[in-house]
Amino acid sequence: MQTKVIIRENSWRLEKFQTKTILVAENGHQVIWKCPITEAALPFINAIADREKASREYLKGHFDVLCGDIEDGCLKYDYLPNKSLMQIIEMQFQQDSPSMADKTIKAYVDKIKALQSIYTVPEEFYQIIGLDGAYDNTKLLCLCRGLLDLTPRNIFVSDSEWMVIDSEWSFDFPVPMIFVLFRAIREMAVMLQPEIRLATNPSNPAHCLFARGLNTYYVPASWRAYLVGGEVGLNQMLRWEMGFQRYVSASNCRSVGRIVRTPKTRTKFSARACTRRRHLATAAKKFLAGIPGLKAVFDSFEKRLFQKRI
């Protein structure tokens, strides 16, 4: 007996980037299929296959890369039963071990910094995010291959092997290394916010860096240190993120939020407050979902506000 479950459908993207990811189980064996939703996305599927092979060569010695086989216009992958690096960090927080989470993040950052890099003006990167000609000639430390989704959510760990999945946005031109780290830490701040807050204490303070809608997101001080003090500010990197989202989905892109102007530092969040925040977030989602168009209005307002601030 065969069962199919759609685990992701990117119909909000531009037609040429629209894909869906399907988990297929048959006789106890599981595989993942990545398929085009539109005919216009067929070349994108082929491009992903090529990008996976190029990424495997670039990451050799630091990460492995899961490569798919093209069958009937789709990419077919073996199912990975291992936990992602994101899930491991989440478990470390839940086990009341923020120091172990810090060590895991440091190992991740060290691996990124060990990749082949170059100081250059990343002109091709600026072009895809809509800054063609609207930048200075400052040279930045860049990964020689632009792997924008090289984040803990897309890295699966087994013993000493770190396997990278999802090479959709792996480009053959340099991208700023700090932007890859920014995307990783921002993503973890959003997805692991309850765990981050519960693990905050005087020896593990947290800084409020990001906000979106009514939500604010704190980041452990040790993580913040990877992002600040360099050549590129947080607002600039969030602007890059907005440009990339527009490249992927044009006017369908959602707000990327904002950088908090006056970051607060916390050394404690009560468990009760964390629970209340979770309930309020759930209630807010239901409220927005119940009024057609309201979420789009909030997104539009926040995008305009963000543009004014930068």
Pair (168, 126) in one structural domain: yes
Pair (35, 61) in one structural domain: yes
Q: Which of 228, 209, 247, 27 minimizes the C-alpha distance to 127?
A: 247
pLDDT 10s digits, 82-109: 999 999 999 999 998 899 999 999 999 9
Q: Please report, as a single letter, which amino acid is at residue 210.
A: F
The whole-angstrom separation of Cα 218 and Cα 200 is 10
**Chain centre to alpha carbon of residue 195:** 18
pLDDT 10s digits, 159-186: 889 999 999 999 999 999 999 999 999 9
Pair (29, 119) in one structural domain: no
Q: For helices 234-249 and 294-309, what crossing angle results, to 10°?
A: 130
Percent of the chain predicted with pLDDT > 70:
87
- What residues make up the domain containing 221? 83-309
Pair (146, 105) in one structural domain: yes
CA torsion, ordered 141, 144, 146, 147, to nearest 10 deg: -100
Cβ contacts of 65 within 8 Å, gap of 6 or more = 52, 55, 56, 59, 163, 164, 167
What pLDDT was estimated at residue 286?
57
**The token pair that represents 306 in the structure block:** 């963000």
Identify the domain boundary among 21, 53, 78: 78
The whole-angstrom separation of Cα 229 and Cα 222 is 13
Counting every residue written for the chain, the total comes to 310
Pair (114, 159) in one structural domain: yes
Pair (295, 201) in one structural domain: yes
pLDDT 10s digits, 262-279: 889 999 998 776 565 555
255 and 296 in contact (C-beta within 8 Å)?
no
Taking the CA atoms of 95, 101, 102 and 104 in sequence, report the sign of the dihedral they define.
positive
What pLDDT was estimated at residue 241?
96
pLDDT at 44 over 60: yes
What pLDDT was estimated at residue 69?
95
Identify the domain boundary among 78, 111, 141: 78
**Chain centre to alpha carbon of residue 177:** 14
Identify the domain boundary among 60, 78, 96: 78
pLDDT at 129 over 70: yes
Strands (E), 166-300: 170-171, 175-176, 206-212, 215-220, 258-259, 265-266
In this predicted model, which residue has the larger pLDDT, 27 or 53? 53
pLDDT tier at 283, thresholds 50, 70, 90 = low
Pair (186, 293) in one structural domain: yes
Q: Which of 278, 254, 255, 258 minimizes the C-alpha distance to 211?
A: 258
> Average pLDDT, whole number, for the chain?
88
Q: Could you give the C-alpha distances from 285 to 177, 214, 278, in angstroms and in order?
A: 34, 11, 11
Pair (20, 167) in one structural domain: no
Question: How many CA atoms, within 13 angstroms, populate the side-chain half-sphere of residue 304?
Answer: 5
- Quickly count helices (H) and strands (E) in the chain: 10, 18
The whole-angstrom separation of Cα 203 and Cα 47 is 46
Pair (212, 266) in one structural domain: yes
* Tally of domains within the chain: 2
pLDDT at 120 over 50: yes
The whole-model pTM stands at 0.87
The whole-angstrom separation of Cα 103 and Cα 275 is 27
What pLDDT was estimated at residue 239?
94
pLDDT tier at 280, thresholds 50, 70, 90 = low
Pair (59, 100) in one structural domain: no
What pLDDT was estimated at residue 290?
62
- At which residue do the structure tokens 């916390």 appear? 266
Q: Which of 142, 112, 149, 113 minimizes the C-alpha distance to 125?
A: 142
Cβ contacts of 193 within 8 Å, gap of 6 or more = 215, 217, 218
**Residue 201, beta-bridge partner list:** 204
**In this structure, how many other beta carbons lie within 10 angstroms of the beta carbon of residue 186?**
23
Pair (155, 244) in one structural domain: yes
**The token pair that represents 155 in the structure block:** 């890295």
Pair (92, 191) in one structural domain: yes
277 and 214 in contact (C-beta within 8 Å)?
no
